[in-house]
Chains A and B, each alone.
Chain A
Amino acid sequence: MNPSLELRAVRKTFGALVAVDEISLAAEPGTIFGLLGPNGAGKTTTIRMIMDILAPDSGEVRFFGAPRGADLLDRVGYLPEERGLYRRMTVVDHLAFFGELHGMQRRDSRRPIGEWLERVGLAEWGERRVEELSKGMQQKVQLVGTVLHDPDVIVLDEPFSGLDPINQGLFKDLLAEYKARGKTILFSTHVMEQAEKLCDRICLISKGRAVLSGELAAIKSEFGGRTYRVEASGDLERLEGIGGVGSVLRQDGSVRLVLEPDAEPSRVLAEMVGFLEVREFRSAEPELEEIFISAVRDAA
């Protein structure tokens, strides 16, 4: 099966700055794909190239197994990180306009708009102006605008930033529903916990480069053998100096270590005992955050 969305060695520079450096990824139907990385890593630039808002210097963006064209973009729903609405339009008019921008006829959009407003609890607000709505309600309108034309691919840039808890739940339900319907979802976030709960596949970006990508479960099991939980007292700062230690993360009185791929756990422990009083040293389930930190180290 062709991936619904594919990036092939996409690169973008702004002057001397390489914002995105030959990133490749592929998202299959029925999956949630997470584009992860800290702020400034190049996530938004990558998404803007996916949406044809920025032109890549080189590389290619493909939808449904074909080079991207304007008609294919109509089958994509996009929610940018910075989102806004026309304040003086009514909710229904605004949604109809979003539909038209994706090639929907006005008369065809009336029914789905009604159904969506019912679903998100804004049925009474259809004829009100956007400016009369609360911020949370406006977020719902933006979400409905993104999916109104029933897109096959949904691209969301930091969808959870600034959302109230109710809308976060609404978004998550929606993503699960679309995934179940065989649609493709790609979203970016800098909050690793969210990605951990939602994603099937991830691509970790740092300074414009993909440092790690693949299925989340596989990545976790690969890193599983390398993550250890340490309970010790003494000069914990020196842990980072031990050869073979990838990342050190302190957490509620204990320390989590991710070792480099070829490091020997017993050698690390032996060295540690030299300057620390170690009470416990055992294998642990890796967290995405740690994986990310050590992946960045590995890449450097």
Chain B
Amino acid sequence: MRPDRVRVVARREYLSRVKTKGFWLATIALPVFVVAVGVLPGLLISKTKISQRIVVVDAVGGLGERLVAELGEMESPLGDSTAGLVATLEAAAADATAQREALDRRVLDGEIDAWIWIDPEGLAANQVEYHAESVSNFLTQGLIERSISRAVRLHRLTAAGHDPAAIDELVRSVGLETVRVSPEGSRAEGAEAGIILAWVLFFLLYMMLVIYGQQVMIGVIEEKTSRIVEVIVSTTRPFELMMGKLCGICLVALTQLGIWLATLVAVTLPGVVSAMAWIPEGVTVPTVPLAVLVHFVLHFLFGFFLFSAIYAAIGSAFNNVQEAQQFASVLVVFLVAPIFLFWTVLNDPDSTVSVVTSLVPLFTPLLMLLRIAVKMPPAWQILLGYALTAAATWATIWVGARVYRIGILMYGKKPTLAELGRWIRYA
């Protein structure tokens, strides 16, 4: 192999990709997308006002007043304003059916938003009716449900002769303060924050492996269908061409990753974090330890060459993207399988299942990284993972190069699996 030729091919590959608008759009789009999907909905919901005019009809007696009081002092855990919630109590009429019809009409006329119906039969079955035009305002309903439960609980306790205030003190629920222990020292960190970090790193890696692997495949097909490949392989060995292509595209990915990480570091600087008022209080933004970052990049490198060598081989063997996609979907199975193991590994990163699956070469990049993000595994396991993946990567490059060498000059019909096997065996 002549390194200068690999460099020439890689350079072309890199520049022709980084110079496109598409690259920069994708680079900017991902962080924007993450913010949009992850943060905006929460932001929007928490800023909505709960404004409802509710009529409470109590056919039991004594419970309605309590409920109206509860609804009045209801507090939203998200800190939203509940000022718009107005509850009024109306006495139960003798003719329940007529009263219910009248209430429905008032809802339809827009005079009130909802009505709540409490009667002995329902209460015995622990049910209270809520009638409204829209019943999908789950946040508001959740709050009302809690208010009703409290009101009913207090009502029943009082009826049983207990002091509601004393009971209230005794049954207060307990919160779990999560503290993450690591060699660098313990620090309080929300459990959500840890999961989010693992989730983000895991999916970022998954996405990059799939997207850049596909780019390798599409690039190879392009070279093949535009017939430029024959000019290139007359001066450059197919192996040099393939390695140049992989290196070039890998550098594109690393460039993109570098931009994202720089952005992330900038965003998580203490000054910036405090400026971001929208982050709910009590949630610590997890900082990514340097060691995890290094492992992330290493796992990306191994994963990229592991899968992209096969993607290159698939691209070379077929004549158009559609044909190749069908075959590539087999490959995606190996990338998707770790997603099914995500919760298993996250929940118990040291279990036998977690350890064994994270050492299967095709799964190692994603699963070992996940374990590292959750809880640093023993060094020997990490090293063994790297060693096995390196061996597997060598194997896929070897096999990939052999298919590639034949495939890029083979036009016409779609090769069968048996033919692909023969290509690998050709000297």
Question: Chain A interface (Cβ within 8 Å of chain B)?
Answer: 48, 51-54, 70, 73-74, 76, 78-80, 82-89, 93, 97-98, 100-103, 142, 145
- Top 8 closest A-B pairs, CB basis? A84-B226, A84-B227, A82-B227, A84-B228, A80-B230, A51-B234, A78-B234, A100-B8
- Our pick among A83, A89, A101 for the contact of B227 (Cβ within 8 Å) is A83
Q: Which residue on chain A has the smallest CB distance to residue B230?
A: A80
A90 to chain B, nearest CB (A): 10
Given known A-B contacts A70-B2, A89-B16, A83 and B8 have beta carbons under 8 A apart: no
Question: Chain B interface (Cβ within 8 Å of chain A)?
Answer: 2, 4-5, 8, 12, 15-16, 20, 225-228, 230-237, 409
| Residue with the greatest number of chain B CB neighbours at <10 A, chosen from A54, A73, A78, A84 | A84
Give the distance in Å from the alpha carbon of A84 to the alpha carbon of B411 in the complex.
14
User: Is A102's CB under 8 angstroms from B235's CB?
Assistant: yes
- Our pick among A82, A83, A101 for the contact of B236 (Cβ within 8 Å) is A101
Q: Which residues on the B side are within 8 Å of A80 (C-beta)?
A: 227, 230-231, 234
User: Is A87's CB under 8 angstroms from B226's CB?
Assistant: yes
Give the distance in Å from the alpha carbon of A73 to the alpha carbon of B231 in the complex.
12
A-B contact pairs, 16 of them (CB 8 A): A48-B409, A73-B235, A78-B231, A78-B235, A79-B231, A83-B227, A83-B230, A84-B226, A84-B231, A86-B226, A86-B228, A89-B12, A93-B12, A97-B8, A101-B8, A101-B232
User: Is B226's CB under 8 angstroms from A85's CB?
Assistant: yes
User: Is A52's CB under 8 angstroms from B8's CB?
Assistant: no
Give the distance in Å from the alpha carbon of A169 to the alpha carbon of B234 in the complex.
26
User: Is A85's CB under 8 angstroms from B228's CB?
Assistant: yes
Q: Which residues on the A side are within 8 Å of B228 (C-beta)?
A: 83-86
User: Is B235's CB under 8 angstroms from A53's CB?
Assistant: no
Q: Which residues on the A side are within 8 Å of B232 (C-beta)?
A: 101
| Residue with the greatest number of chain B CB neighbours at <10 A, chosen from A88, A93, A98, A100 | A100
User: Is B5's CB under 8 angstroms from A101's CB?
Assistant: yes
Q: Which residues on the A side are within 8 Å of B5 (C-beta)?
A: 101
The majority secondary structure among interface residues of chain A is loop
Q: Which residues on the B side are within 8 Å of A48 (C-beta)?
A: 409
- Our pick among A73, A85, A87, A142 for the contact of B234 (Cβ within 8 Å) is A73
Q: Which residues on the A side are within 8 Å of B235 (C-beta)?
A: 70, 73-74, 78, 101-102
| Residue with the greatest number of chain A CB neighbours at <10 A, chosen from B4, B8, B232, B236 | B8
Give the distance in Å from the alpha carbon of A27 to the alpha carbon of B155 in the complex.
108
Q: Which residues on the A side are within 8 Å of B231 (C-beta)?
A: 78-80, 83-84, 98, 101, 142, 145
Besides A80-B227, A83-B230, A89-B12, 9 new A-B residue pairs in contact (Cβ under 8 A), listed by A number: A52-B234, A76-B234, A78-B234, A79-B231, A80-B234, A83-B231, A87-B226, A88-B16, A101-B5
Give the distance in Å from the alpha carbon of A80 to the alpha carbon of B233 in the complex.
11
Q: Which residues on the B side are within 8 Å of A52 (C-beta)?
A: 234
Q: Which residues on the B side are within 8 Å of A87 (C-beta)?
A: 226
B320 to chain A, nearest CB (A): 15
User: Is A53's CB under 8 angstroms from B226's CB?
Assistant: no
Give the distance in Å from the alpha carbon of A48 to the alpha carbon of B406 in the complex.
13
A193 to chain B, nearest CB (A): 26
Q: Which residue on chain A has the smallest CB distance to residue B409?
A: A53
B141 to chain A, nearest CB (A): 55
Q: Which residue on chain B has the smallest CB distance to residue A54?
A: B409
Give the distance in Å from the alpha carbon of A145 to the alpha carbon of B234 in the complex.
13
Give the distance in Å from the alpha carbon of A142 to the alpha carbon of B230 in the complex.
12
A220 to chain B, nearest CB (A): 33
Give the distance in Å from the alpha carbon of A86 to the alpha carbon of B232 in the complex.
11
Q: Which residue on chain A has the smallest CB distance to residue B241?
A: A101
User: Is B12's CB under 8 angstroms from A97's CB?
Assistant: yes
Give the distance in Å from the alpha carbon of A48 to the alpha carbon of B238 in the complex.
14
B376 to chain A, nearest CB (A): 44
Q: Which residue on chain B has the smallest CB distance to residue A15?
A: B422
- Our pick among A53, A76, A100 for the contact of B233 (Cβ within 8 Å) is A53
Give the distance in Å from the alpha carbon of A48 to the alpha carbon of B230 in the complex.
9
Give the distance in Å from the alpha carbon of A48 to the alpha carbon of B405 in the complex.
13
Q: Which residue on chain B has the smallest CB distance to residue A145?
A: B231
Give the distance in Å from the alpha carbon of A264 to the alpha carbon of B235 in the complex.
52
Give the distance in Å from the alpha carbon of A145 to the alpha carbon of B230 in the complex.
13
Give the distance in Å from the alpha carbon of A23 to the alpha carbon of B232 in the complex.
25
User: Is B16's CB under 8 angstroms from A86's CB?
Assistant: yes
Q: Which residues on the B side are within 8 Å of A85 (C-beta)?
A: 226, 228
- Our pick among B16, B230, B237 for the contact of A82 (Cβ within 8 Å) is B230
Give the distance in Å from the alpha carbon of A284 to the alpha carbon of B399 in the complex.
59
Give the distance in Å from the alpha carbon of A76 to the alpha carbon of B226 in the complex.
22
Q: Which residue on chain A has the smallest CB distance to residue B240?
A: A70
A164 to chain B, nearest CB (A): 19
| Residue with the greatest number of chain A CB neighbours at <10 A, chosen from B12, B15, B228, B233 | B228
Give the distance in Å from the alpha carbon of A74 to the alpha carbon of B227 in the complex.
20
Q: Which residue on chain B has the smallest CB distance to residue A50?
A: B234
Give the distance in Å from the alpha carbon of A52 to the alpha carbon of B236 in the complex.
10
Q: Which residues on the B side are within 8 Å of A102 (C-beta)?
A: 235
A39 to chain B, nearest CB (A): 15
Q: Which residues on the A side are within 8 Å of B12 (C-beta)?
A: 86, 89, 93, 97
Give the distance in Å from the alpha carbon of A88 to the alpha carbon of B234 in the complex.
22
A196 to chain B, nearest CB (A): 28
Q: Which residues on the B side are within 8 Å of A82 (C-beta)?
A: 227, 230
